[in-house]
Structure 1
Amino acid sequence: MALHGISLLPDCAPQERSASEYYRDVLTLARQADVWGMSHVKMTEHYLHPYGGYCPSPLTFLTAVAARTTSIRLMTGAAIPAFHHPVQLAATAAMVDVLSGGRLDLGLGRAWLPYEFETFGVPMGESRARYVATVEAVRRLWTGRPVSEDTPFFSYTDAVSFPAPVQDPPPLWGAAVRSPESFQWLARNDIGLMMSVPPLARDYPLTRQMVALYRAEHARVHGGATPPRVALSLPLYVGRDDRSAFAEATGHHRRYLDVWRSAISSWPQEACADYPGYEQMAEHARTMGDVDLRTDGTAVVGGPERVAERIEALQGDLDVDVFLWQVDFGGQDLASMTGSLGRLVDDVLPRLPQYDRTPVPV
């Protein structure tokens, strides 16, 4: 039985919506999601661009969510270890876990936008090594014992991290998109898989292949000792019926893709060893035209019946543990987001087999 939460990835420019307006609306939405019994609220980390730039600190945002909610889990999706010292990341994440009464899910990612790496002075070719070293360091710091590290990226002696998290430890998730090594590493280290589906339906088979790779590697290493965990993020818009849903969602989705294409255009044409295939993804993004949500896109859009069918198909295909629905795409206002999410809760989820509106503790 899959859980259902919300995923937030701001794609607003100041001339379209102010940061104050965006934060006000999504904090209200997160509080409503909590009232409706949804499982998670997830926020990303990005910089310098309308693609995610309104949330440079997901842990700060989730602290505000924690103060307004009682049970919904708080997920970073993803915080970027390459841009943070592990002592800072471990302590700040633990602080959010304490403030929320033990509701943090720490999702971590390697980042993938060249301009962010350039600005922070971090070589993209070090991405994987920095990510692995930082994740492993955070895990050790959370034990509460003195920890020493000596890596090319950071070093310290007998560091004891405060405060200790409430959970022992908070669940860890790792973002992965298309690098097989990332999926295998997450599986070997018993870290949950957190991924987004590419916007074009033609790229969906790669998603299915990578999820299968993760599950197979997890089974090979861990057997049945611990279960694999898969969290999937997709844009969602539930309308009153199919016709109104596509009419209302198309403009928002077009704006979302325009912002995404603008961000990904910073990718160079040459390949990067730590990001195999990303230069091809960037070229596809630059050259693709409009996406027909009915036939070409992976966003889940439609009336309640159509959306329920799409969710069942995704569940059957990928065996998803947590759906994290991206409900803020295209700079939607609160009324649009709340209407869509309310129809998901009231008209879609009850159609799904074995749906339980009460969140299951992680």
Structure 2
Amino acid sequence: MKFGINLFPTVSPDEKSAVQHFDEALRLAELAEELGFDHVKTVEHYFTPYGGYSPDPVTFLAAAAARTSRIRLVTGAVIPAFTHPAQLAGKLAMLDNISHGRLSVGFGRAFLPDEFEAFEIPMDESRQRFTDGVEACRLLWSEEDVEWKGAFHRFGPVTLLPRPYQRPHPPILVATAITPESCVAAGRAGYGLMMVPSINKVEKVQEMLALYREAWVAAGHDPAAQDVHMSYNCYLAEEAGRAHERGRTYSEHTNRALAAAVEPWTRTKSSDYEGYGRIVERVRSSDFGKQLRDNKVLVGAPQEVADRLRLIRSWFGDITISLQVISGNMPYEESARTLRLFAEHVLPVFTP
């Protein structure tokens, strides 16, 4: 298994300034490299405390690249629907060069109605804009004199500059929440997968993973090259009771931010987002105690967290775990302690 950090901000300006957030997040990226973690990841969201401090993951990861030399940089994820593909491909290729080939590009469809409304993008175009955007970026990275005639953009022939550092292109991952078809498409294309297991039952995640892996093998890709990322809220302390108490506080803070962000789903319908109308009730009914019992959070003393990860590995195999060590607006010192405890006591259990 591999382990990295996901710096997903759930913070508002009255809780922490943007300057403080970015200073602390960059310090955590440096610490993660020092402690031997695999990657640093961040998200693209807008306007609300649920991710709004990260409207452009490329900007943040470029700053992280300048402060590190080994750790991989992962967009988790960029949103093709909100950016012209030539612009998106160009700035990602630039980051790949700045980092000397440490970039992995995660693409997502987005799912918050207010973001689509602000960008004047119909949600019913989401799936096609995502598919077109990923493919246009792949072509721009891989080929020269690219001519694109899609449903939403037409350009070319053009040759992207700079060319990506990694050839033919940086590793591609796609995000999926509850849609099995996205897993099949990713496996068929040979792309990695990013999942958030906390929003689904274990059996549902296993079903989606099986579809992904079957499609991967059927398409003739090397089974050893699969890359599945899952993100978990993470809080460690030397004493389990303390970890559970503080983990609950931060989990409930994150859940309030998410509940406010998804509230527009109570009055939104989209053929591209079947089943998302139920997401509001799922968030409202979230219970930290049940999440802990169901191993949907990595919270506890180090040995307890190691045991949770053994169970997760038995469910899903040797996946890549992204530890969300700032969710809930944790103080920097607590996030850093979580990373140090994990590196000292948990990493050695799962890495050679």
TM-score (norm 1): 0.93
Deviation at 1:224, TM superposition (A): 3.9
1:312-323 superposed matches below 5 A? 312-323=310-321
Mapped contact 1:5–1:38 kept (Cα < 8 A): yes
1:206-355 superposed matches below 5 A? 206-222=204-220, 224=222, 227-268=225-266, 271-286=269-284, 288=285, 290-292=287-289, 293-295=291-293, 298-352=296-350, 355=351
1:72-151 superposed matches below 5 A? 72-151=71-150
1:90-130 CA-partner distances (Å, limit 9, x unpaired): 11001001111110101000000000001101111111101
Structure 1 CA distance, aligned partners of 2:275 and 2:247? Answer: 30
| Amino acid across the alignment from 2:288 | V
Mapped contact 1:5–1:40 kept (Cα < 8 A): yes
| Amino acid across the alignment from 1:291 | F
Residues 298 and 122 (structure 1), Cα distance of their counterparts in 2 relative to 1, 3 Å cut: same
Deviation at 1:297, TM superposition (A): 6.3
Match of 2:73, SS state, is strand
1:197 aligned onto 2:197:
yes
Deviation at 1:289, TM superposition (A): 5.4
| Amino acid across the alignment from 2:185 | W
RMSD of equivalent CA atoms: 1.6
Mapped contact 1:291–1:297 kept (Cα < 8 A): no
1:38-53 superposed matches below 5 A? 38-53=37-52
Between 1:217-226 and 1:9-18, the stretch displaced more is 217-226
Task: Identify the residue that residue 184 of structure 1 maps to in structure 2.
Answer: 184
Structure 2 CA distance, aligned partners of 1:224 and 1:108? Answer: 22
| Amino acid across the alignment from 1:258 | R
Structure 2 CA distance, aligned partners of 1:223 and 1:32? Answer: 35
Question: Where do 5+ consecutive residues of structure 2 fail to align?
Answer: none
1:205-225 CA-partner distances (Å, limit 9, x unpaired): 322221121112212222547
Structure 2 CA distance, aligned partners of 1:190 and 1:120? Answer: 30
Match of 1:5, SS state, is strand
Match of 1:66, SS state, is helix
Structure 2 CA distance, aligned partners of 1:305 and 1:89? Answer: 42
Structure 2 CA distance, aligned partners of 1:196 and 1:106? Answer: 17
Structure 2 CA distance, aligned partners of 1:324 and 1:289? Answer: 21
Mapped contact 1:107–1:194 kept (Cα < 8 A): yes
Residues 32 and 270 (structure 1), Cα distance of their counterparts in 2 relative to 1, 3 Å cut: closer
Mapped contact 1:271–1:277 kept (Cα < 8 A): no
Question: Where do 5+ consecutive residues of structure 1 fail to align?
Answer: 357-362
Task: Identify the residue that residue 360 of structure 1 maps to in structure 2.
Answer: none
Structure 2 CA distance, aligned partners of 1:84 and 1:276? Answer: 24
| Amino acid across the alignment from 1:181 | E
| Amino acid across the alignment from 2:81 | A
Fraction of identical pairs, as percent: 36
Residues 68 and 224 (structure 1), Cα distance of their counterparts in 2 relative to 1, 3 Å cut: closer
Match of 1:211, SS state, is helix
TM-score (norm 2): 0.96
Between 1:202-211 and 1:188-197, the stretch displaced more is 202-211
Structure 1 CA distance, aligned partners of 2:308 and 2:287? Answer: 21
Task: Identify the residue that residue 58 of structure 1 maps to in structure 2.
Answer: 57
Structure 2 CA distance, aligned partners of 1:224 and 1:39? Answer: 22
1:48-85 CA-partner distances (Å, limit 9, x unpaired): 11100000000000000000001000000000000011
Mapped contact 1:113–1:263 kept (Cα < 8 A): yes
Mapped contact 2:190–2:221 kept (Cα < 8 A): no
1:148-174 CA-partner distances (Å, limit 9, x unpaired): 111121001211100011101110010
Structure 1 CA distance, aligned partners of 2:221 and 2:190? Answer: 11
Mapped contact 1:231–1:320 kept (Cα < 8 A): no
Task: Identify the residue that residue 167 of structure 1 maps to in structure 2.
Answer: 166
Count of aligned pairs between the two proteins: 350
Match of 2:47, SS state, is coil
Structure 2 CA distance, aligned partners of 1:173 and 1:125? Answer: 22
| Amino acid across the alignment from 2:234 | L
Structure 2 CA distance, aligned partners of 1:110 and 1:53? Answer: 16
Task: Identify the residue that residue 359 of structure 1 maps to in structure 2.
Answer: none
Mapped contact 2:10–2:329 kept (Cα < 8 A): yes
Deviation at 1:204, TM superposition (A): 3.2
